[in-house]
Structure 1
Amino acid sequence: MIVPIPAVVPPGRMGQTDQPVFRLASGLELRSWRPGDAKVLADSCLDPDVQQWNRPGRLSLDDARDRIARWGKRWRSEEAAIWAIAEPRGGSPVGLIGLADFDLDGGSAEFLYWLLPAGRGRGAMVDAVVRVSRWAMDDLGLHRLRITHSVANAASCRVAEKAGFALEGTMRSALLHSDGWHDEHLHARVQGDAWPR
């Protein structure tokens, strides 16, 4: 007799709740994206670093509004959890962090993130990765989280290491960027790993 393995995260645990808002030690906050953030999202696609490492393409204002609306739907359908990294009390976004490639049955997801120049140099991304990781593991119940990045992206590697994600290896020729195929580092955190101080 085959005994089915129960889902690590039961259906509805995420989608039937409101997306939480988190305060960060850097003074910024994590909140859902709003229609009024569309210009920031569209403009982010013009930032050279965001373009280089995230391949967002170009977004019109309408495209940006559609993407923000889609993120809200993906939260409710438990496909992704995307936050704006924003100035406090409803201020403008300076970055994005989220989890996608959800496998709630298997208990895993992968990070995506970027910062605009106004958000850089404040320790915000490490802070945000740790906060979202705690939510994903302690509240949602995921078992494993991944960060992948080009081996040439030293800033992303530092974020992963400082946030307590162990380097597990290098995936050869894993992602196509504008300048060709890049090897990627694979970092991960699993339930029980120590949290950074």
Structure 2
Amino acid sequence: MEPLPVEVPAGTVLLRPWRAGDADDVRAALTDPATDLWSNPGRVRTREDAEVWVARRAEWSSGTQATWAVVGTATRELLGSVSLHAIDVAQGNAEVGYWAVPAVRGRGVVAVAVDAACRWGFATLPVDRVELVHAVDNPASGRVAVKAGFTLEGRLRRSHRYGDGVKRDELLWARLAGDDVPDLSTRS
């Protein structure tokens, strides 16, 4: 049975299912140059593109992804996105993906969201390994990986074509269900 879309509280942030009303905020976030380069594989440009993006991420019935809007607990303002995707029940693996709106980058919001998504996944899904992959040229994602308790496992040479059309080397990180990591939701 696939998990239904759920909210995941994490201290100062809340992971909540995507809603149709999020489309304008998603379009604004994904057309930011840095987000567009590293995290916009669907090439969101218009409100209609954003509506499709939100609808796909709000749909969890395939059992292969769980995706949340990351919002401030107090303000409910959109801060970013986090997902567990490529969920492979047979192997017990998943991948994590994320982005943040420009105003909250470097403040630890994404690391808290990634930690919360992993904790939820390990407790809810039949997975014991979550992988995080990012371009070597995107060191901010490496900082997220470290803060969220991931271990660097290696370098993937020319493994993914990013938003600028350049195929880049990536770093592969993983977090296992039994890893001893601090609960970031307790930090303010």
- Shift >4 Å, 4+ stretches: none
CA displacement 1:118-156 (0-9 Å, x = unmatched): 222331111111111111112223111000001111110
Take 1:62 and 1:90, find their aligned partners in 2: how far apart are those partners? Answer: 26
Deviation at 1:194? 1.1
Name the residue aligned to 1:81: 66
Maintained 8 Å contact 1:37/1:92:
no
Of the candidates 16, 39, 42, which is equivalent to residue 24 of structure 2? 39
Deviation at 1:113? 0.4
- Count of residue pairs the alignment pairs up: 181
Are 2:164 and 1:191 equivalent residues in the alignment?
no
Take 2:103 and 2:135, find their aligned partners in 1: how far apart are those partners? Answer: 23
Quick check: 85-94 or 147-156, which moved more?
A: 85-94
Take 1:170 and 1:140, find their aligned partners in 2: how far apart are those partners? Answer: 27
**Matches for 1:158-197 after TM superposition, within 5 Å:** 158-177=143-162, 178=164, 180-196=166-182
Instruction: Give the partner amino acid of 2:97.
Output: L
**Matches for 1:101-180 after TM superposition, within 5 Å:** 101-177=86-162, 178=164, 180=166
Maintained 8 Å contact 2:158/2:169:
yes
Quick check: 53-62 or 179-188, which moved more?
A: 53-62
**Matches for 1:47-86 after TM superposition, within 5 Å:** 47-56=32-41, 57-73=43-59, 75-86=60-71
Maintained 8 Å contact 1:24/1:124:
no
Scaled by the length of structure 1, what TM-score is found? 0.85
Deviation at 1:179? 5.6
Maintained 8 Å contact 1:83/1:97:
yes
Instruction: Give the partner amino acid of 1:60.
Output: T
Q: The residue matched to 2:26 in structure 1 has which SS?
A: helix
**Root mean square deviation, CA, Å:** 1.7
Scaled by the length of structure 2, what TM-score is found? 0.89
Maintained 8 Å contact 2:8/2:120:
no
Deviation at 1:22? 1.9
Larger radius of gyration: 1
Take 1:104 and 1:59, find their aligned partners in 2: how far apart are those partners? Answer: 33
Take 1:118 and 1:55, find their aligned partners in 2: how far apart are those partners? Answer: 18
Residues 179 and 71 of structure 1, relative CA distance in 2, 3 Å threshold: closer
Residues 58 and 66 of structure 1, relative CA distance in 2, 3 Å threshold: closer
Deviation at 1:117? 1.5
Deviation at 1:24? 2.3
Deviation at 1:90? 7.3
Point out where structure 2 has 5 or more consecutive residues left out of the alignment: 184-188
Q: Taking every aligned residue pair, what percent have the same amino acid on both sides?
A: 35
Take 1:115 and 1:32, find their aligned partners in 2: how far apart are those partners? Answer: 16
Deviation at 1:87? 2.4
Q: The residue matched to 2:99 in structure 1 has which SS?
A: strand
